[in-house]
Chain A
Amino acid sequence: MTNKLIVSVSPHLHINESVRKIMWLVVLSLVPAGLAGVFIFGPQALWVILLSVASALVTEGVLQALTKGKVTISDGSAFLTGLLLAYNLPADVPFWIPVVGSAFSIAIGKQVFGGLGQNIFNPALVGRVFLMASWPRYMTIFTKPMIYDAVTQATPLALLKENKILAHISYWDLFLGKRGGCIGEVCILALLLGAIFLLSRGYISWHIPITYIFIVGLFAYVFGPGGFFTGDWLFHILSGGLVLGAFFMATDYVTSPLTQKGQIIFGIGCGLITAVIRLWGGYPEGVSYAILMMNAAAPIIDRYTRNRIYGTK
């Protein structure tokens, strides 16, 4: 299957982009959130990130060598998967959790389907959900921020689920990331920096993240604890993995719809499922499940939102 001649539809415009460049720029845009996570949770967060990335690269390389394919670990996609998985883990997990999770992400989430571009589900989220279902004990212990010691704390959303008082957490704390949570999801400021970079360069479009976050906020506001239209929408937007998921994982090129209309439907679906899980479900957080479910729906959304072919009705 080595096609020397590239056949594509017109217009034949050349842009100076490649999978490799885009992947590494997404990695770059995630660096601030990682630095913030390491700063907030201490050096063990750095180990989780390094182990996860290393395991993803090794698994990808070994599997590609075994299947006698081209080894493409330098294209950044495996690096990105490992990085995103690490950002979805608590800082205090045992060392083998990121290793096994990343290996599962790459092997089952991606290579089984045929590698980059063929996978149905976001590999990093496949790894996270696998870890969550297999070892929930380690996946739900969160380090208390700014202590650099093994002091644990529940996430704001988990506290909310148990009807505990949240008075000591301000919006400002949530925005800067001074709360319990996963390594990469806590510092909204750093995530937004990366997201604005990607949006301004045109690597992601606003359609999925904005509709996603808007729907979650709307639901949280309408179905508040004290009756209709009393909910704390800002709290719901700033807590959990919503910002990380909406900007960096729901927008994955491979697993999200191609057209703008489709992306808006995708964002609304993600928002609905996340809101339903958070407000009425058993889990405190539902971003990863929402994105995975909508990943499964992405091909059918694509089928019904095809752009009109020029010259047809």
Chain B
Amino acid sequence: MKKFLVEFLNGIVKENPTFVLLLGLCPTLAVSISVVNGIGMGIAATFVLLGSNIIISLIKNVIPDRIRIPCYIVVIATFVTIAELSMKAYSPVLNRALGIYVPLIVVNCIVLGRAEAYAAKNTVVNSLFDGLGMGIGFTLALILISGIREFLGAGKILGYTLIKGFEPVFVIGMPSGALLVIGLLLGFFNLLKSKRE
């Protein structure tokens, strides 16, 4: 059990997809305007990661090595379609807010990266915990970034105004603000890491 916990925590801290592996930055930059978007994107990506990691680790011995990437994409696309259609059915507002970035999870580097680097070499149970850890790590990173951006860029958290009379920093809500926030957070986490070593 302890081994699984290590796999699980690996994705959240040591190999956090956003702050350590620097994968999936495109959706991170685009959807981290509000916390709700961040959570929605994180849950969708976690679901896809979990599903694709399990299926790919199951079929890893069956698929020919030379066409493995197209096979992964088919598996991932299946789960993305499930996620997208469910989102359309149960939460159309969120679906509209996330827009093209939900179908684009198909080519999200975190999902493909974990399929190639982990699920194709490890057992089903290990891959399950890896997918879950990576997904939650991604979600937490999105919540952190979108929390900062929503607070500074719109003066709100989860749609509620926190400080009356606060003048939102408009630029933080724009794409350049996303780059700025992610860059500073990355620097901060690297600082923490270098202090520990």
Contact = CB atoms under 8 A, between A and B. Distances in A.
Whether chain B is bound by chain A comes out as yes
Interface of A: 108, 112, 130, 133-136
Contacts of B169: 134-135
A133 B176 contact: yes
Interface string B7-19: 0000000000000
16 contacts: A108-B180, A112-B184, A112-B187, A130-B171, A133-B170, A133-B171, A133-B174, A133-B176, A134-B169, A134-B170, A134-B171, A134-B172, A135-B167, A135-B169, A135-B170, A136-B170
Nearest to B170: A134
Given A112-B184, A133-B170, A133-B171, 13 more contacts: A108-B180, A112-B187, A130-B171, A133-B174, A133-B176, A134-B169, A134-B170, A134-B171, A134-B172, A135-B167, A135-B169, A135-B170, A136-B170
Contacts of A134: 169-172
Interface size grouping (class) on chain B: 10 to 19
A141 to B, nearest CB: 14
List the 6 closest A-B pairs by CB distance, nearest first.
A133-B171, A134-B171, A134-B169, A134-B170, A130-B171, A135-B167
Interface of B: 167, 169-172, 174, 176, 180, 184, 187
Contacts of B172: 134
Contacts, number: 16
Contacts of B167: 135
What secondary structure prevails in chain A residues at the interface with B? Answer: helix
Nearest to A138: B167
A241 to B, nearest CB: 20
A112 B167 CA distance: 25
Contacts of A133: 170-171, 174, 176
A136 B169 CA distance: 10
Nearest to A136: B170
B122 to A, nearest CB: 39
Contacts of B180: 108
A295 to B, nearest CB: 16
Contacts of A112: 184, 187
A112 B176 CA distance: 16
A112 B181 CA distance: 13
Contacts of B176: 133
Most buried by B among A112, A130, A134: A134
A133 B171 CA distance: 6
Contacts of B174: 133
Nearest to B167: A135
Contacts of A136: 170
A108 B177 CA distance: 12
Most buried by A among B167, B172, B176: B167
Contacts of B184: 112
B191 to A, nearest CB: 10
A108 B171 CA distance: 14
Nearest to A133: B171
Contacts of A108: 180
Nearest to A132: B171
Nearest to A108: B180
